[in-house]
A and B are shown apart, each in its own frame.
Chain A
Amino acid sequence: MPEYKLRINGTSHNVNVDDDTPLLWVLRDELKLLGTKFGCGIGQCGACTVHFEGAAVRSCLIAVSTIGTSEITTIEGLSEEGDHPVQKAWLEHDVPQCGYCQSGQIMNATALLTENPKPTDKDIDNAMSGNICRCGTYVRIKQAIKTASNQ
């Protein structure tokens, strides 16, 4: 198996995996970064969202061999203490129900706010519609994004 040197959350990690292994399973199986979740495996639910050079991507669709030296950030790397403004807004609105989709939602929302610090409702709908929440916390997610955007 080939060896890959990955830049994740500011540190280098060496992994030996098949070249077509999706980043999602490198994170979860090899690096024990379990905050990134598996929901569909085909880019349709957003549970596996991470940042790739700052942009939100579905880690289940990114083969390890295509990452190169790009900087990856996962939910674990979003902040040291869980105090990123988006995480704080999520806690303030007590968004999660089961919680399973939320790291993906947070990573997607963070990327949205970096690109567009004052999103309209429509912008939020457009940016977030690839992230399913089966528990239906959509209303609170929108409120939390607005709270974070005002920080």
Chain B
Amino acid sequence: MTKIKTQYNRRSFLKISAAAGGGMLIGFSWLTCCVSGGKTEEALAIPNEWFEINGYIKIGDTGLVTIYSPNPEIGQNVKTSMPMIVAEELDVDWNNVIVEQAPLNTGFYHNQVAGGSQSIRKGWHALRMAGATARRMLLEATAKAWGVEVIALTVSGGIIKEINGDRTMGYGDIAVQAVAMEVPEEVELKDIKDFKLISTSVKNVDGKNIVTGKPLFGLDFKREGMKLAMIQHPPAFGMKVKDFNEAEIKAMPGIQDAFIVDISVPEPGYFDEKGYQQLVAIVGDSTWQLMKAKKALKTNWEAVSELENSEDHMKRMEGTLASGEMHESRKDGDPEAAFKKASKVIERTYSSPFLPHNTMEPMNFFANVTETSAELIGPTQTPQALEGSVSKLLGLPIEDVTVNMTRMGGGFGRRLYVNFGVEAAAISKQTGAPIKLIYTREDDMTQGTYRPAYLTTYKAGLDENNNLIAFSVKGTGLPESPVFEHRFPAGTVDNYLAEKASTHTNITTGAWRAPRSHFTAGAEQSFLDEVAELAGKDPIEFRLELFDRAISNPVGKRNDYDAKRYAGVLKLVKEKSNWGQSMPGIHRGVAAYFCHNSYVAEVIDIAMEDGKPKIKKVWCAVDCGIVINRDAAKNMVQGGVVDGIGHAMYSQLTFKEGTPQENNFNTYRLIRHSQAPEDIEVFFVENDIDPTGLGEPGLPPAVGALANALYQATGERYYHQPFMSLKTVMG
């Protein structure tokens, strides 16, 4: 057993307990119908009394256990996997566990963010400790009650037993005494080999509520007396609202109020809106009446900066790459001389367009602002940032702002940015009532915060024996560069150069599932496919040779990957997919990528059907350390694969005079059932390494494997996303 120091003290427990007791149910009493849980029919009875052991765990007098899931749930399934970790160390039967979403409590929980695939990685120790601490306190309380030592006791499934005796004690019976125990200074964690719950497959705790249509999402939140609100932002980047037909709108049926709100906050932070600060807001009783009022808006806009076009975007990025303004971010050896010496040189350029996140549930938020307080409830990946921005906007002390999280209909990075929550607060304040702000799909898709557009040139040089002796990457984007200078193949080539620069745009951008990696993996991995072809080598063997070099004699010291684990997923996918065996009619491509602390290799099999590529199967090999919830982890990787393929194949957002030309799913293309892979199989490298996340890492390699399989199937290389133009798809 591992012994670790507990980080908690009595006071932090009490603080969270108070929040848990008072604020936890956030007016969700309308939701009590839909308790989330492993709880089945055979489970224990609903308790009369609950005992807060610590901020993660509450035990009822019947032995039923509530575990609070600290992080925002956006579909990555942390609401199941985080409590599983607590339950493992607490040693309770999962059937007797109920899960609740924890409120924002920065004083107690760590990292209440859904971002960067970090929930599990950063939560791992705290969650284990919470469970282990509670188990220890329950054991100590029992030992005291029976007048024995703790070592004379064992526990399993929430039942404490005397090793040399017949006495047993249920957690529910001793909880009342356990809460009075001192928090131990040190606790023992289980050995990994003793895990019973972790690495099994546990069903989504909200599964039943989802398939029966229970109100779980921000858009479903309602409170007595609440009004609805909608906004209208400028139609184009570079424009600002001047005035609108206020009197006419206010006179429309069901409309209470219409005004311009300003959401600028002093000293805006990273998650604050960089674009539209002034918006038209309309408040009313029903969504449909608000939609009609929105249609009746006659707004005067003024151009305050350039109105950009997609054609100019490409030219602008090309200009950056050609200019002398690139910043050299890494250089090994003498790339210039090596390229001169090389017997074969290949250079290719890759691009991808702006993309909106398009969470299935459009942006929305509930806000109730009074003179002295602000209460916010809704879908946010960064509750803490929202709390801070609302406090700044309203000039209220941070203690007087509360933020609670609902389940989210997707995140993908969009809900890291807090503008819609801040807008809700600004509208509630101005209209003097609790309101729920709702975006239409058009508002959502044209508001900005997009995935940036990118352009990158790769160049490789081979010697006469087809060894890679020189490699360079040079990239820019609107506005950020996608280049990761210390990632593979850095460290495997003696002569290496990475250069980057940003390109100006007034279109607002933000993190989009696997930021930069979503583009870079596709570009780099399809470039390497071409380099391997030029070298006359099998694409997997070619990569493995490079990893061998990085394992035995790496170039440079700052390479940000573990070459053994990287090679490990490639070897696993090679084995599982029977790589190298020819399959008639099947064209295969491979890619591997490391990002967000996890390693993923994928093989995509394509068949041509009616002259169109059809993805028959995707094979995925994943190293994310210990797998917490096996089947859910597979689901996450499968989703990443579909997301990667879908956006690379079909999606793009274009601009004319600053206006997004696609604003709903009739013009903007998202992957659909018939275009999805027929099968996606996921395999894990089994090891004892501390777990890392899976929300993002499954996506990036899919883009490279797709481009490489498409090349095998069609004889054409795909350099520019989206790979399939509207014409190709529609025929």
Contacts and interface: CB of A to CB of B under 8 A. Distances in A.
A13 to B, nearest CB: 16
B677 A18 contact: no
B225 to A, nearest CB: 15
A37 B211 contact: no
Interface of B is mostly: loop
B646 A141 contact: no
A48 to B, nearest CB: 11
A134 to B, nearest CB: 4
Contacts of A21: 286, 288
B142 to A, nearest CB: 36
Interface string B355-379: 0001111100000000000000000
Contacts of A98: 74-75, 359-361, 407-411
Interface string B638-652: 111111001000000
Contacts of B643: 134-136
A128 interface: yes
A29 B285 CA distance: 9
Contact of A39 (B76, B215, B360, B640): B360
A111 to B, nearest CB: 15
Given A45-B360, A94-B203, A94-B635, A136 B211 contact: no
A87 B409 CA distance: 19
Contacts of A149: none
Interface in B626-673: 631-632, 635-636, 638-643, 646, 664-666, 670-673
Given A44-B665, A82-B211, A140-B638, A29 B287 contact: yes
Contacts of A128: 673
Contact of B207 (A17, A96, A135): A96
A34 B410 contact: no
B610 to A, nearest CB: 12
Contacts of B342: none
A136 B513 CA distance: 13
B64 to A, nearest CB: 21
B220 interface: yes
B428 interface: no
B12 interface: no
Given A17-B286, A125-B674, A34 B220 contact: yes
Given A74-B213, A139-B679, A100 B289 contact: no
B211 A106 contact: yes
Given A96-B204, A99-B210, A100-B217, A139 B288 contact: no
Given A29-B288, A40-B665, A91-B207, A97 B215 contact: no
Q: How large is the interface on A (under 10, 10 to 19, 20 to 34, 35 or more residues)?
A: 35 or more
A59 interface: no
A151 interface: no
Contacts, number: 192
Interface of A is mostly: loop
A76 B212 contact: yes
Contacts of B636: 97
A61 interface: no
Most buried by B among A28, A35, A136: A136
B208 interface: yes
Nearest to B640: A136
A32 B214 CA distance: 11
A71 to B, nearest CB: 18
A40 B77 CA distance: 25
B666 A99 contact: no
B261 to A, nearest CB: 23
Nearest to B76: A97
B211 A94 contact: no
B676 interface: yes
A103 B676 contact: no
B204 A94 contact: yes
Contacts of B514: none
B440 A41 contact: yes
B206 interface: yes
A42 B674 contact: no
A75 interface: yes
A74 B674 CA distance: 25
Nearest to B677: A139
Given A97-B635, A100-B409, A35 B673 contact: no
B215 A136 contact: no
Given A42-B666, A97-B76, A99-B407, A36 B213 contact: yes
A97 B77 contact: yes
Contacts of B680: 139
Contact of A44 (B203, B228, B664): B664
Contacts of A33: 213
Given A39-B360, A100-B360, A134-B410, A139 B676 contact: yes
Interface in B181-204: 201, 203-204
A91 B259 CA distance: 46
Interface of B: 74-77, 201, 203-204, 206-208, 210-217, 219-220, 222, 228, 253, 286-289, 291-292, 358-362, 407-412, 438, 440-441, 631-632, 635-636, 638-643, 646, 664-666, 670-674, 676-680
27 contacts: A1-B253, A17-B288, A35-B212, A37-B217, A37-B361, A38-B219, A39-B361, A40-B441, A41-B440, A42-B665, A76-B212, A94-B204, A96-B206, A96-B211, A97-B77, A97-B636, A99-B407, A99-B409, A100-B359, A100-B410, A129-B672, A130-B672, A132-B670, A132-B672, A135-B75, A137-B635, A139-B638
Given A44-B665, A82-B212, A97-B75, 13 more contacts: A34-B214, A40-B664, A45-B360, A75-B212, A91-B207, A96-B204, A96-B211, A98-B361, A99-B210, A125-B674, A135-B643, A136-B641, A138-B672
Interface of A: 1, 17-18, 20-22, 25, 28-30, 32-42, 44-45, 47, 74-76, 78-79, 82, 87, 90-91, 94, 96-103, 106, 121, 124-126, 128-142
